[in-house]
Structure 1
Amino acid sequence: MHATSCVAANKAAVSHRAAPPWRAVFAGLCATLVGIGLARFAYTPLLPALIDAHWFSASAATYLGAANLVGYLAGALLGGPLSARWPVRALLRGLMLATAISLLACAWPVDFAWFFGWRVVSGVAGGALMVLAAPTVLAHVTPQQRGLVSGMIFAGIGLGIAASGTLVPLLLRQGVGAAWVGLAVVSLLLTALAWNGWPSAAPVHAAGNAHAAAARPVAKGALRALTVSYALNAVGLVPHMIFLVVFVANGLGQGLAVGAQYWVVFGLGAIVGPVLSGYMADRLGFGTALRIAFGVQALALALPALGVIGHGGLIVSSVVIGAFTPGIVPLVLGRVQELLAHHPSLQKAAWSRATTGFAVFQASAAYGMSWLLGHSGGHYALLFAVGGVALVLALLTDLVAGRLHRVQ
């Protein structure tokens, strides 16, 4: 009787300490907004301003943009080990604070090394937040709600993309340094809002899953295929994510103003994409939703690749790829959790590997397509074709792996 009352008291205490689910979801959204949305995507509209203000040369500013990707790779690899050494709640708070500090430090162009170092810091924090934030929140969510909840968390990336086309130009009216300060203030505010939202208690269902782990083999082949498909998807996103504005402005000769309008369309798709893909996954399952995503993206890239670049066709293509730029993330994370449903202790490491593969292929594709564009005489359609082929390969990899997994 005494033991029963102690257990009940402990459960009540845990329930009291745990943050309400909506607060945890909001904290996750703030983390992706700060770590990826602002720290990475806000640099795109800041890039020409850095050059015009003579802070850095054009080539140096480009390398500084790559610094965030280098840090992101490191952060994706370090997220798991860091969470094993420190309480994840304190770690998530520290990572968001580090991002805000890195943005503030960029308000003073001391020299190239100073700026590069702080851009690496923002990348490390962003990569670790990407690996840790969503799984921390989803561990406290029922499986039936994980698609929609993860979509809401990763909607922060889309909000950051949209902010990069609206907030940053407004901040730049006060100068480049003031723009960095403004981004830092916004990040600090979001960090404060998320501070007490992170879950502090272990999920009650974790222990129950541990007993099934020994009886269920790990689907290693399916996990490897998922990592490859996710990495190939990263290649498919690069043509729009990096070259959309310059394609419209220079490739189609419509000017930067029109190119910026398509970037806004891309950003609008990025806001709703994660929520819609998460909702689709809850209804159809993550595996089916993921295959639909690969196919739809391939079709969207085929439009500009085949020259279907009228106003309507380019809007459709921009919206779809914009939606899945962040929208593919909750689908892959959910699929990892499906494949490792009986091995919860392995989920974080598998998600870290998938995130690392995505980052490697994305950075490699960005540099490779830049080289291809220069050596093809500005043939933008070729970039979209490469992206489309990568997504077809992602779909085929997933389909073949699915069949082999069912046979096994």
Structure 2
Amino acid sequence: MSENTATIPGPMASTLDARALFATLAGLCGSLVAIGLARFAYTPLIPPLIQAHWFTSSQAVTLGAANFAGYLAGALLGRPIANALSNRHALRLLMLIATAAFFACAYPLSVSWFFAWRFASGVSGGAIMVLVATTILPHIPPARRGFASGMIFLGLGLGIAASGTIIPRLLQLGLKDTWIGLGAFAAILTAVSWFGWPGSAPAAPAPAAGTQPVRRGNTALRVLYAQYAANALGLVPAMVLLVDYVARGLGRGAETGAGYWVLYGVAAIAGPVVCGNVADRIGFGAAYRIALLLQAIAVATLALSGNPILIGVATVALGIFTPGIVPLVLGRIQEMVPHDHLEQRAAWSRATTAFALFQALAGYGYSCLFTLSHNNYALIFLCGAAALALALSADILTGRKPQPVATP
């Protein structure tokens, strides 16, 4: 009996056993600690960091960028770390690093100290993003992988929601205690996930007679990498400017702007699960095309309308897809490379690296454009909508979901 059948009772099983559910929970803990909290919890902490004179405003922004730089490094280093330690041990180590970073940030010994730990938390997030799903999903029945991937990346949505709700309440205890509280929560989640990480991947089923998997260098995969990079260009404007746009651009005040961010966060909680379940029903390729279309419409709506109801609808849509695109792209890679876990991991690493790179470039590029255009919000949002429309057009032009290539 193969390791696959020991984990999943039959190749076509559609239910999750206790081991698969525990692994999925471990994945959720990993994405919540290393990405959801390590990245998104920092945003509401910037004003208190400045007000408490821990850092100047420019230093606080630079320290925020340290996490993005670390995330890119982690996306590149994830596979080498796993090759050296095994996936299970690598994920445990990365969770410990992310947890230690929260405690370390409670003590602002110097800018370089804080930068190093923010960078380390970013490395942990990028590496976990590369490894977490490709470690767990081979142990999940194919019919339930959309649901499982949605649950794994639910941590991103929870982190976004926490950034607008829980963090402000923790700050009432003080800035130092907030960092320690985040560290304690991360330590609990690390302990919960410790024995949930699966070991080696199960044996992959043999491909059908007369077929072979899509080769990694083919055009469809390259287009997908480019689409995912363009998706980053499309999402960053709302991630960075939504609150400021409502508060200052539309003149509705900071409190109203914060309300839209909470709405964005609540939608983000549902995003991975909703997208994963939709993909289970209609396929990941079709689901991602729909996601690109709806994102383009939502970002264009922010550019073209100041109607509070339309902005609310666009906010919900973007909140859903900010974390929701992750399981969609991962699932599409698995559709393209259905029988090779190692190649799936390599392709997902390249896709994550592309997203991380263009997310960082978008952050700096849009910031410069925003300044040069004298705070032209509509221009930034239109750039994002154009990037998403371009990604959708590329998908349509390259055809439908790729099928295994028939052998001569």
| Preserved CA contact (<8 Å) 2:211 2:404 | no
Instruction: Tell me the equivalent position of 1:127.
Output: 126
Question: How far apart are the structure 2 equivalents of 1:389 and 1:290?
Answer: 17
2:250 maps to 1:252: yes
Q: Structure 1's 11 and 107: CA in aligned 2 closer, same or farther, altered over 3 A? A: closer
**How much does 1:378 deviate?**
1.1
Do the aligned residues in 1 keep the contact of 2:225 with 2:351 (CA within 8 Å)? yes
CA offset digits 1:246-266 (Å, max 9, x no partner): 111111111111111000000
Identify which of 267, 277, 280 aligns with 1:279: 277
Would the aligned equivalents of 1:104 and 1:184 in 2 still touch at CA under 8 Å?
Answer: yes
* Structure 2 residue 340 is the aligned partner of structure 1 residue 343: yes
Q: Hey, which of these two has a bigger chunk of helix by percent?
A: 1
Change (3 A) 1:394 1:217: closer
Equivalent residue letter for 1:246: D
Is it true that 1:380 corresponds to 2:380 in the alignment?
A: no
Other structure's SS at 1:209 match: coil
* Displacement after TM superposition at 1:349 (Å): 0.9
Kept in 1: contact 2:336–2:403 (CA 8 A): no
Q: Write out per-residue CA displacement over residues 129-171 of structure 1, whole angstroms, 9 at most, x where no aligned residue.
A: 0011111110101111111110111111000111111121111
Q: Secondary structure at the residue paired with 2:153?
A: helix
1:2-401 map, 5 Å: 20-203=19-202, 205-206=203-204, 208-209=205-206, 215-218=212-215, 220-306=218-304, 308-401=305-398
SS of equivalent residue, structure 2 residue 206 = helix
Q: SS state of the match for residue 106, structure 2?
A: coil
For 2:99, give the aligned amino acid. Answer: A
Q: CA deviation at 1:211?
A: 9.1
User: How big is the shift at 1:405?
Assistant: 5.5
Distance, in Å, in 2 between the alignment partners of 1:195 and 1:148 is 22
Give the Cα separation in 2 of the matches to 1:394 and 1:217.
21
Counterparts of 1:328 and 1:369, CA distance in 2: 21
Matching residue's letter, 1:278: G
Contact 2:102 2:180 in 1 (8 A): yes
Amino acid of the structure 2 residue aligned with 1:21: A
Question: Partners of 1:332 and 1:217 in 2: how far apart?
Answer: 16
Equivalent residue number for residue 3 of structure 1:
none
**Shift of residue 11, structure 1, vs aligned partner:** 8.8
Give unpaired runs (5+ residues) of structure 1. 1-6
AA aligned to 1:30 is: C
Q: What amino acid sits opposite 1:89 in the alignment?
A: R
Aligned partner letter, 2:188 = L
Instruction: Name the aligned partner's letter for residue 274 of structure 1.
Output: P
1:402 aligns with 2:386: no
Aligned positions, number: 397
Native 8 Å contact 2:68 2:122 kept in 1: yes
Task: Output the CA distance in 2 between the equivalents of 1:132 and 1:319.
Answer: 28
Partner Cα distance (1:214, 1:108) in 2: 57
Q: In 1, Cα distance between the equivalents of 2:4 and 2:290?
A: 41
Ranges in structure 2 where 5+ consecutive residues have no aligned partner: 9-16
Which whole-Å CA distance do the structure 1 matches of 2:215 and 2:103 have between them?
44
Distance 2:65 2:308 in 1: 32
More deviation in 249-258 or 214-223? Answer: 214-223
Q: Secondary structure at the match of 1:218?
A: coil
Deviations 1:358-395 (A, max 9, x none): 01111111111111111111111111101100000010
1:49-89 per-residue CA deviation (whole Å, 9 max, x = no partner) reads 10111111101100000000000001001111111111211
Task: Please give the TM-score of this superposition, normalised by the length of structure 2.
Answer: 0.93
Q: Distance in 2 between matches of 1:250 and 1:146?
A: 42
TM-score under structure 1 length normalisation: 0.93
Match of 2:260, SS state, is helix
Tell me how far 1:216 sits from its aligned partner. 3.8
How many angstroms apart in 2 are the aligned matches of 1:358 and 1:103? 25
| Superposed displacement of residue 209, structure 1 | 3.5
Report how far residue 269 of structure 1 moved: 0.9
How far apart, CA to CA, are the structure 2 residues paired with 1:277 and 1:217? 24
CA contact (8 A) 1:210 1:343 kept: no
SS at match of 1:271: helix
User: Per the alignment, in what secondary structure is the counterpart of residue 197 of structure 1?
Assistant: coil
